[in-house]
Amino acid sequence: MGTALITGATSGLGEEFAWQLAARKHDLVLVARRENALHNLAERLHAIAGIRAEVLVADLSTPEGCAAVARRIDAPATTHTPPIGLLVNNAGFGLGKPFPDNDLEAEIKGLDVMVRAVMILSHHAAQTMRARGRGAILNVASVASRTGAGTYSAHKAWVVAFTEGLSEELRGTGVTATAVCPGPVRTAFFENAGVDMDRIPSPLIADAEEVVSETLDALRLGKVLVTPTPVYKAAMAAMKLMPRSLLRKVMRSMPHL
Ligand SMILES: NC(=O)c1ccc[n+]([C@@H]2O[C@H](COP(=O)([O-])OP(=O)(O)OC[C@H]3O[C@@H](n4cnc5c(N)ncnc54)[C@H](OP(=O)(O)O)[C@@H]3O)[C@@H](O)[C@H]2O)c1
């Protein structure tokens, strides 16, 4: 897979993807908004795992931020800009409020980062990887993709449907597309969304390490959809069978993402 570009690399799942890919000797391009955190991570990855980690500061809610990352994906291969073999569209956040109560601006930012940026970066990656005849695109969705609970859930449903379609459109090209649907994971996600994580029973919260490890195994096998951890595999299966009206009722007692 060569060099991997990870969005949202400064914390949580993105940082864990960085460490596990570095342990497998992939060079990295780390993308997020917090410049100091990116440089700090790049230095530690280099010192501990011996890999090369580029820093690309970009706000993916803006056209300029997306364009800067797209330029890196399209960059002609040189020793300073090795080709991107794996794109991990991971950046994202919970909105934490029902749609009618939230600022429209915040809602649009969520759409821009979790849908628009994913579409733009996937388009650049699909074209450049297809031209090279190899590569992989990994999109981070969520079990929320099935819950029909608010715009976060809608964005992640888009990611799943988009990735499934893309995987078919890339069939036979040497490029794969995979969507991962984690359940709740111990990261800064809930705090950033203003959601009290204590409302979720702790056995139902996964560690980033196991989620990422299972995801990378599935990616290597070229799987299209992966739901890490046995409890959320079962939950996804149950949600597929459950009448939508019942699922909506169950979701009323869950924290809003
Ligand atoms: N944690 C969970 O329970 C869970 C479950 C299912 C799916 N997910 C998904 O997993 C992904 C990673 O979330 P996480 O749990 O690791 O949360 P996290 O720890 O809060 O990390 C989110 C990452 O996204 C980056 N980011 C946010 N807004 C951005 C923007 N405008 N431009 C560029 N980067 C931005 C942040 O970096 P900067 O602040 O430095 O920009 C940070 O690195 C998200 O897509 C999330 O929806 C999470």
- Protein residue with its CA nearest to atom 16 in ligand 1: 12
Which pLDDT value is given to residue 197?
Answer: 87
The answer as to whether 175 is a domain residue is: yes
Q: Does 232 participate in catalysis according to the annotation?
A: no
Ligand 1 pocket test: which of 90, 95, 151, 186 has the largest number of ligand atoms within 8 Å of its C-beta?
90
Residue 198 CA neighbour count, 13 Å, CB half? 0
Contacts of 144 (CB under 8 A, 6+ apart): 152, 153, 156, 257
- Ligand 1 proximal residues by C-beta, below 6 Å: 7-14, 32-34, 37, 59-61, 90-93, 113, 140, 142, 182, 184-185, 187-189, 192
Can you tell me the mean pLDDT for 124-137? 98
The answer as to whether 257 is a domain residue is: no
The model's pTM is 0.98
Task: Characterise 116 by phi-psi region: left (phi > 0), alpha (psi -120 to 50), beta (else).
Answer: alpha
Strand order in the sheet with 175-180: 53-57, 28-32, 3-7, 84-89, 135-140, 175-180, 225-226
What percent of the chain has a predicted confidence (pLDDT) above 90? Answer: 93
Residue 1: pLDDT band with limits 50, 70, 90: low
Helix-then-strand count for the chain, H and E: 10, 7
Task: Give the CATH number, domain containing residue 56.
Answer: 3.40.50.720
- pLDDT, the chain, mean: 96
Q: Which residue has the tokens 């056995």?
A: 203
Each residue's pLDDT tens digit, 209-242: 999 999 999 999 999 999 999 999 999 999 999 9
Q: What is the number of structural domains in the chain?
A: 1
The domain in which residue 150 lies consists of 3-251
Ligand 1 pocket test: which of 187, 204, 256 has the largest number of ligand atoms within 8 Å of its C-beta?
187
Can you tell me the mean pLDDT for 152-181? 98
The answer as to whether 159 is a domain residue is: yes
The answer as to whether 256 is a domain residue is: no
